[in-house]
Amino acid sequence: MAFLADEISYCSNVHSGGSLAQLRFNITHSIQAVRQQRKLSKMSVGLWISAVAANELNNEQALMSFKQLLDKTGLSLRSINGFPYGDFHQDAVKEKAYLPDWSTRERVQYSQVLAVILAACLPDDCDTGTISTLPLGYKKDWTPQKHQAAIDHLTELMAYLGQLYEQTGKKIILCLEMEPDCVLESTDELIIFFRQDLPQTAVFHRHLAICYDVCHQAVMFENAYSALVRIFDAHVHIGKIQLSNALEVLFNNEDTSLMDCLRLFCDSRYLHQVKCQRVDDHVEGRVDERHLTSYSDLVHALKKPINGKGRIHFHVPIHAPYLMHPQLTTTQSDILSVFDFLCDHPDMHPFLEVETYSWQVLPVDIRPRNNDELIMQITKELSWVESELKKRGLLSP
């Protein structure tokens, strides 16, 4: 099934603002402006709604006013990014992006409120919405006890989403999003979790899926087409795909210009996990994560002598095949592989969302200088997506 231009969206976590007032400002001054730049009368939107903003929306009057704002600005809320709980634009996010994790009650309660908001705001002609969330928690802090607590909390949320569906007729699907260095970082781990760890009940099959973030799995050296086929064949529902782009580099510590360029991508706000492999590190045609050398952040990797290909968890513009240096390329081809997968699986229709949240922490020379430039760059990314979908017959006229 082909996609409509107004279904292709971007994630609003690129805009700062943890309060409801700031969220409303972003809708009026940025997200609506992207829709206007694209010359669309209506545009789907994937909103990041922090826990603070969600709690402010958790009453009938505030929710009604919010729905009116979406209608007024020509926006259709079909998906929510429920991964970052707190202020995603504070000076130092780093590991705090994974807190609270799924072993805690706070994560359940936050997701319940987001589900209520999304069910209330879905367009009248849409009965399904997605909420992306973290892949349980950060791996180095994980324990068997936390794992069981996370399963219990997901079970509780599935029951809640089932009741919400019965009450509203709106099916809200929670989408676990794999990420490097998290509990679920590889497709192997994801499939095992879905097929072996979780209860095999109807409510789980109806309300739990995955959000496939292209950048994250590219950093894991997974082939996007093959990974999606394996997930599909395992009967794990793909509810959302985040179109994102990672940095790729053939490390050469003696190339001072390259190393100086890489240092420009170190920032104090976000984690930029690094995975490295040797050319011969392949197992039966796909990379085995046990053969990868891992660094928790780019700043740590650059202190080590590295030889071989590396991929860096830094969401760079998706229309860029390389950045700033001839040896600093991107994993854009993985996004194209996703489109090829969708072309070969016409019955699939996940929510497609560009997620380049790190525009403001890019090196200064390629960073937007103001909000107008940011809007222009986001529009270019969306135009690139439309162009590539059109080449494959995946974009309806």
pLDDT above 50 for 285: no
Mean pLDDT of 313-334: 96
> What is the model's pLDDT at position 253?
86
> pLDDT class for 266, splitting at 50, 70, 90?
very high
Residue with tokens 């109807």: 202
Instruction: Return contacts of 56-59, CB within 8 angstroms, 24+ apart.
Output: 56/19, 56/20, 57/20, 57/113, 57/117, 58/113, 58/116, 58/117
Q: Is the pLDDT confidence value at 244 over 90?
A: yes
Q: What does the pLDDT look like over 42-88, one tens digit per residue? A: 999 999 999 999 999 999 999 999 999 999 999 999 999 999 999 99
Model confidence pTM above 0.85: yes
Q: Does 381 score more than 60 pLDDT?
A: yes
Q: Tell me if residue 286 falls in helix, strand or coil.
A: strand
In Å, how far are 77, 168, 294, 299 from 270, measured between CA atoms? Answer: 27, 38, 17, 11
CA distances to 86, 238, 288, 315 from 260, rounded to whole Å, are 32, 39, 30, 19
125 CB burial (10 A radius; 0-12, 13-18, 19+): exposed
Q: How much is the pLDDT for 283?
A: 44
Task: Report d(CA 346, CA 340) in Å as an integer.
Answer: 10
E runs forming strands in 265-350: 274-277, 293-295, 307-316, 328-330
Instruction: Tell me the pLDDT band of 284, cut-offs 50, 70 and 90.
Output: very low
Decide if pLDDT at 174 tops 80.
Answer: yes
The rounded percent of the chain whose pLDDT value lies above 90 is 92
In the predicted structure, residue 4 carries a pLDDT above the cut 70: yes
Check residue 306 and give its pLDDT. 86
To 10 degrees, the CA torsion angle through 376, 80, 235, 343?
-20
Per-residue model confidence as pLDDT tens digits over 22-32: 999 999 999 99
Cβ neighbourhood burial of 340 (10 Å; 0-12, 13-18, 19+): middle
Average pLDDT on 84-109 reads: 96
Q: Over range 363-387, report the average pLDDT.
A: 97
**DSSP 3-state assignment of 200?**
coil
pLDDT of the residue at 278 = 65
**Section 270-280 average pLDDT:** 85
Q: Domain ranges in the chain?
A: 5-246+325-391
Give the Cα separation of 64 and 69 in Å (integer): 9
**Separation CA 380–CA 12 (nearest Å):** 16
C-alpha distances (whole Å) from 339 to each of 180, 181, 237, 287, 350 are: 22, 26, 17, 21, 11
Using pLDDT thresholds of 50, 70 and 90, give the confidence band for residue 17.
confident
Beta bridge partners of 209: 175
CB 342 within 8 A of CB 395: no
Burial class of residue 121, CB neighbours in 10 A (0-12, 13-18, 19+)? buried
Q: CA-CA distance, 321 to 316, in Å (whole number)?
A: 10
Tell me if 298 sits within 8 A of 217, measured CB to CB.
no
The chain-wide mean pLDDT, for the chain, equals 95
Q: E strands, the chain, where?
A: 9-10, 43-48, 75-81, 128-133, 171-177, 208-213, 238-243, 245-252, 274-277, 293-295, 307-316, 328-330, 351-354
- Average pLDDT on 387-397 reads 96
Residue % of the chain over a pLDDT of 70:
97
pLDDT at 327 over 80: yes
With b meaning 16 or more CB within 10 Å and e meaning fewer, what string describes 283-320? Answer: eeeebebeebebbbbbbebbeeebeebbbbbbbbbbbb
Distances (CA, A) of 17 to 13, 27, 320: 9, 11, 27
CB-based contacts of 317, cutoff 8 Å, min separation 6? 245, 323, 356, 359, 377, 380, 381
Q: Which residue has the higher pLDDT, 10 or 205?
A: 10
Each residue of 287-315: pLDDT tens digit?
566 679 999 999 999 998 888 899 999 99
At 279 the pLDDT is 53
Q: Would you say residue 103 has pLDDT above 50?
A: yes
Q: What is the pLDDT of residue 116?
A: 98
Pairing type for strands 9-10 and 351-354 reads parallel
How many helices and strands, by DSSP H and E, does the chain display? Answer: 14, 13
8 A C-beta contact, residue 358 and residue 318: no
**CATH class of segment(s) 5-246+325-391:** alpha beta
| Strand arrangement, sheet containing 328-330 | 293-295, 274-277, 307-316, 245-252, 328-330
Which residues lie closer than 8 Å to 72 by C-beta, 6 or more apart?
Answer: none
